[in-house]
Structure formats: C-alpha cells, structure tokens
Amino acid sequence: MDTITKKTWYSGDWKQRNNDQIPYNGIKIEATASYNDSNKLDTVTAILTDYTKDPNGISNTVQLNKTNIWYDIPIPIDETIEPPQLNTKFTIEGIYLNGDLGKLQLCRMTTGIYLRVQFRYGEQYRTREELGFILQFDESISL
C-alpha cells in the first residue's frame, strides 16, 4: 500500500485573508509525496495555485518523479472562453523574461530530497522571484 506525505508552502507575500483587489494574494504550493511498497520516494505531485489575479486561485499540477531534472510549470488552459486558450490569470512564469516557463526540481541532498523552485509571478512590472529549496521530503520512510 502506498504511503503519502503532504506539505504546504506559501510565498513571502502570502496573507491569511485575500486583498480586495489585484493582487489578491500570492502563491501556494501543496506537495504530496508518494512512497512505494518498499517505502522509497516514488513521486511528488505539486499543485501550484496563483492568487494574484483571481481571489479563488488558478491552479496547475506538476508531477515530479526523478531527481535533478527541471520540470516545467505549464500555464493552465482557460476552458471558460471560446476557443480555450492559456489562462492569463495564471502569472507563474520563468525568470528570464523571454517567455520561458517556471520550473520545479526534486534535488537530492545529504539531508533528504528537496523541492526546488525557480519562477517569478505577479502583475506585470511588479513581479516577484522565488528561487531556492522550499520543502524537504525523506528519500525513504519507515513504518
């Protein structure tokens, strides 16, 4: 039977209550680590929710199953408009200002496996960068 561990991270501008106008709030990342029958880390599923332009948040999911590989944070599709297109309320993007996507990585260190982030978000001309190691997961667990 698989075992899971859940952790949550909030950006530095996070508030317990949303603002009344844009930017409503920051970024929340909920990461779920799944361990296999051998109690080894199998995969981490990260749900990134951007509250910058929508008080209910715009979410997308990234599944990471290998260490030391950068995974793109895709921009979700807005299905509420015709034809469906990239959701402009999702502001997470790459740090290089060239249209690249934000990135996530599982990084193996001596103290465990860390979720590493590399992205910027926010209103145009008022973006914030998030770079670094934010959540730690055990490489294996004992039951």
The domain ranges of the chain are: 3-137
Q: What is the pTM of this model?
A: 0.93
| pLDDT score, position 126 | 84
What is the dihedral angle through the alpha carbons of 36, 102, 60, 116, rounded to the nearest 10 degrees? 30
| pLDDT score, position 1 | 45
One digit per residue, the tens of pLDDT, for the chain of length 143 reads: 467 899 999 998 999 999 999 999 999 999 999 999 888 999 999 999 999 999 999 999 999 999 999 999 999 999 999 999 999 999 999 998 888 999 999 999 999 999 999 999 999 888 899 999 999 999 988 86
Q: How far apart are CA 95 and CA 129, in angstroms?
A: 7
